[in-house]
A and B are shown apart, each in its own frame.
Chain A
Amino acid sequence: MSTTASNTNASGGGAGRSRGPAPAGERLADWADGRLGIYSLAKSNMRKIFPDHWSFMLGEVCLYSFIIIILTGVYLTLFFHPSMNEVVYHGSYVPLQGQMMSEAFNSTLHISFEVRGGLLIRQIHHWAALIFLAGMFVHMMRVFFTGAFRKPREVNWLFGFLLFVLGMFTGFTGYSLPDDLLSGTGVRFMEGAILSVPIVGTYLSFFLFGGQFPGHDFVARFYSIHILLLPGIMLGLLVAHLILVFYHKHTQFAGPGKTNNNVVGMPLLPVYMAKAGGFFFLVFGVIAAIAAIAQINPIWAIGPYRPDQVSTGAQPDWYMGFSEGLIRVMPGWEINFWGHTLVLGVFIPLIIFPLVLVAIAVYPFIEAWVTGDRREHHILDRPRNAPTRTAFGAAWISWYFVLLIGGGNDLWATHFHLSINAITWFVRVAFFVVPVITFVVTKRICLGLQRRDKDKVLHGRESGIIKRLPHGEFIEVHEPLSQEQLYTLTAHEQYEPVELGPTVDENGVERKVKGSQKLRAKLSNAYYGEDNQIQKPTVEEYREITSGHGHH
């Protein structure tokens, strides 16, 4: 160690070091750099710039809740017994004493009633899972509506999407573990859905459950999926997701001094280290407080699973609600032929379930194909400036929420005194109609907002001051925008719709136009055609209005 220190002193020792050996921290860093090359890594990252916007913290919520889930989950594994052996309960919760239940349920009761702080950790774990999924949903929408998924970030969009889907299944396998009546009913639903798969359904079900439902295996199998397989994949994806965020550098909204070639913000060390690090504690603290005051999944009130018992108002956790909606509103179609049954009433929802998700996952690639844009995009779009994309996203959300209503149709019926029949029919119709209406309305709103921006740029801000002119006319005084505002409102790019070009070439020979080309031209027109975006104000328009006789 002394040689290292003296070497450093000899080679790089500045005036400050001649007085003695380098501080311990510095020597440790030198030691690590000689083996890990940390200085080259730190050179580009320690003072890395992060732009500031409230919506950029949504992803952080997801990251932190995931860490909280892992921490609390490891604690829970110390006490949980992933076994379906039936035992008689002798614990401290009196109403269930003497009942038969699986060891999984028994150990969850033990965690909740006998382990001090066990209930708190269980509740933090469950609440953090709900917040994790909700956070990912909103984070994904942020990325979607601002166009942050565009090149070079398409792969990271897919990583994020996979995290969302895997998060759903990790959540599902997790809340099934206590083997309580509610989650067991959910597992039964899943088994019924698997049975509906043509040809292989029964085999899949028997392989998953180790025989007939419920068998003695699924808790142990879900356990290994829940604590090892899925979180392992998710951890890998999460690390890749973050590495890409660092590598691509963060996106930013347009504004003075902010271009596609720079990133404006504050450095990681110290500001973001403190803000983001602090934010972890804020998220953890809030979730801990929620777990202290808001009960979640009280399995002792629900009871152990029995395939012949059920409680009313059975609902999955919210993120599974849209699949529940699909299955509830689907008509019970069944086709029998040659001794076989095609269970369309269950199988079609099972197919639509991934399609709902895939619809949003593939969108970046569709948009890239329509625009044909190969450039990198680091400046975020304001949602209004991409009306068709925004309308599509809003339509997708409305679709999702229609299905959520369907998933809770019994609760809607009991809470709002509605007929469950009427709600089911509403959802059946709305499934097709509401996304279309949402699309049209959202697009109109975006175009309206674009017009307003244009007016603001050309005529200035409405000041609210009414002025009376000498001849009696009243006018409202418009204040011209500042240079910063003018730039911000006109910084976005606008695409021209793709032209198909002439269908005959210069020799009069008919040129073959591929169907995909025609489709692309049509879509491009739907995105960027005359009525589908408002042309941003041009310099000429601006000059004509401002240089003339002043504005009214």
Chain B
Amino acid sequence: MSSQDIPEENLPAEQAAEHGHGAVSLADEKHPFADPGLPPHEHRIQDVDERAAKRSERTVALLFTISMLATIGFIASYVAIPHDKSIFVFPLGHINALNFALGITLGVALFAIGAGAVHWARTLMSDAEVADERHPIEASPEVRAKVHSDFKQGAKESAIGRRKLIRNTMFGALTLVPLSGVMLLRDLGPLPHNSLRHTLWAKGKRLVNMNTNLPLRPEDVAVGSLTFAKPDGLEETNEDFQEQIAKAALMIVRLQPENIKDKRELDWSHQGIVAYSKICTHVGCPISLYEQQTHHVLCPCHQSTFDLSDGARVIFGPAGHALPQLRIGVDSEGYLQALGDFEEPVGPAFWERG
């Protein structure tokens, strides 16, 4: 593109003549705030200096050429760089070389096209502002009347207003037919029944350490430690492991029995070892932060805080009720075992919870 392509009306001589028409009304004593009309077009250096236009042309061509080179660079990187190679790039640190090379070359290839096109538009294409008329969106009164009468004519010919039986049964049929679609959604899932009330815990189930996969003895639980446990028999490879652990996850801490303020908590503990549901009663995040000194546990999602020495009641945050406690004891072989399921549903509250 050279300056020969610039429309003639952008050249200074044409512009001056044009401006006279542009003014809507000239300001005078009576109308000091009158609209002076479109300002005269200001010429860019490229409009008047052919050498500047040539420079712009070369800049645009250079940008497009850079893009081509970058695409070649992209292909070369794709072929040449192994996908697991890591490089050090300041200040990013050690990063994947292939990702870096592909992203930068692709970015440059795309950006250069954009920069070239925009530079072309800004420096070489006409920048004269043009005014276009707007037309009202609304139809003219005649069109409006025509449409209304057409509609009435059509409605009359269908006799939908007169034959009410047809109209009403049609509305009835159209209302009912989507119900089939709604019915088909029924098998999206089973009904809840009371599945949210029960977990895998039952009388005699041993508490198995989540990390070692070994049954826990009371002496394995030290004061100040937080141990996560699962019911005996639940393995990661089980088909329903995720659903089961989502309810059965347990946290175990050992307190000094005299520090336990809640009587029921003490009754349900074993030598100061208490077992609570790990699933937050707010919206179900697993609670995982334990503060030894205060016996508080904190849910990292929404910061609900529970006091494990006082029935796990809520002391801060959005949770609505205490964590359910699991009643534990020791079986004949000295392993920690559950003395039943949780007495209340674990996890977030729901309508049927009661």
Contact = CB atoms under 8 A, between A and B. Distances in A.
B112 A199 contact: no
A297 interface: no
Interface string B272-303: 00000011001111101100000000001111
B103 A285 contact: no
A362 B243 CA distance: 41
Nearest to B186: A207
Contacts of A491: 33, 35
Contacts, number: 348
B102 A117 contact: yes
B303 A424 contact: yes
Given A274-B121, A281-B113, A539-B33, A212 B246 contact: yes
Nearest to A48: B132
A438 B96 CA distance: 45
B83 A289 contact: no
Contact of A309 (B104, B189, B288): B288
Contacts of A211: 189-190, 243
B350 A341 contact: yes
A263 B285 CA distance: 55
Contacts of A197: 351
Given A249-B134, A264-B38, A332-B282, A279 B118 contact: yes
Contacts of B34: 483, 487
A263 to B, nearest CB: 5
Nearest to B92: A293
A37 interface: no
Contacts of A271: 121, 125-127
B255 interface: no
A331 to B, nearest CB: 7
B246 A307 contact: yes
Contact of A310 (B101, B129, B210, B286): B286
B139 interface: no
Contacts of A215: 189, 242-243
B14 interface: no
Interface string B79-123: 000011000010010011011111110111111111111101110
Contacts of A333: 320
Contact of A314 (B102, B190, B247, B300): B300
B284 A192 contact: yes
B237 interface: yes
A543 B348 CA distance: 72
B189 A257 contact: no
Contact of A256 (B32, B35, B115): B35
Contact of B131 (A49, A203, A542): A49
Contacts of A280: 114
A264 B131 contact: yes
B10 to A, nearest CB: 12
B56 interface: no
Contact of B320 (A207, A345, A546): A345
A336 B354 CA distance: 6
Given A119-B96, A256-B37, A207 B189 contact: yes
Interface in B235-287: 236-237, 241-243, 245-247, 249, 278-279, 282-286
Contacts of B101: 292
A256 B317 CA distance: 58
Contacts of B120: 274, 278
A263 B129 CA distance: 10
A503 interface: no
Contacts of B185: 207
Contact of A346 (B30, B84, B283): B283
A343 B36 contact: no
A210 interface: yes
B243 A331 contact: no
A334 B35 contact: no
A263 B317 CA distance: 55
Contacts of A206: 189-192
Contacts of B137: 152, 247-248, 376
A286 interface: yes
B50 to A, nearest CB: 20
Nearest to A482: B36
A267 B130 contact: yes
Contacts of A56: none
Interface centre among A295, A305, A334 (most CB of B within 10 A): A334
B323 interface: no
Contacts of A256: 35-39
B243 A210 contact: no
A24 to B, nearest CB: 22
Interface in A59-102: 86, 92, 100
Contact of B350 (A48, A202, A284, A486): A202
A114 B352 CA distance: 47
Given A120-B103, A378-B134, A543 B32 contact: yes
Nearest to B303: A420
Contact of A376 (B109, B130, B136): B136
B107 A289 contact: yes
A191 interface: yes
B39 A257 contact: yes
Interface string B1-38: 00000000000000000000010100101111111111
B131 A278 contact: no
Interface stretch (A160-168, A234-242, A322-330, A516-524): A322-330
Given A120-B106, A310-B285, A257 B131 contact: yes
Contacts of A207: 185, 188-189
Nearest to A124: B103
B321 interface: yes
Contacts of A200: 351
Nearest to A374: B138
A343 B320 contact: yes
Contact of B129 (A196, A202, A265, A283): A265
19 contacts: A86-B236, A117-B102, A119-B99, A257-B131, A263-B134, A266-B130, A274-B117, A278-B121, A281-B112, A289-B108, A293-B95, A312-B288, A312-B300, A332-B320, A340-B351, A376-B136, A376-B137, A410-B300, A424-B303
Interface of B: 22, 24, 27, 29-39, 78, 83-84, 89, 92, 95-96, 98-104, 106-118, 120-122, 125-134, 136-137, 185, 188-192, 195-196, 210, 228, 230, 236-237, 241-243, 245-247, 249, 278-279, 282-286, 288-289, 300-304, 314, 316-321, 347-354
Given A249-B134, A293-B95, 14 more contacts: A185-B285, A257-B22, A261-B134, A263-B131, A264-B130, A266-B126, A270-B125, A278-B117, A285-B108, A306-B245, A313-B300, A334-B321, A339-B354, A346-B318
Interface of A: 48-49, 86, 92, 100, 113-114, 116-117, 119-120, 123-124, 152, 185, 188-189, 191-193, 195-203, 205-215, 217, 247-249, 256-267, 270-272, 274-275, 277-289, 291-293, 295, 305-314, 327-334, 336, 339-343, 345-346, 376, 378, 409-410, 420-421, 424, 457, 483-484, 486-487, 490-491, 539, 542-543, 546
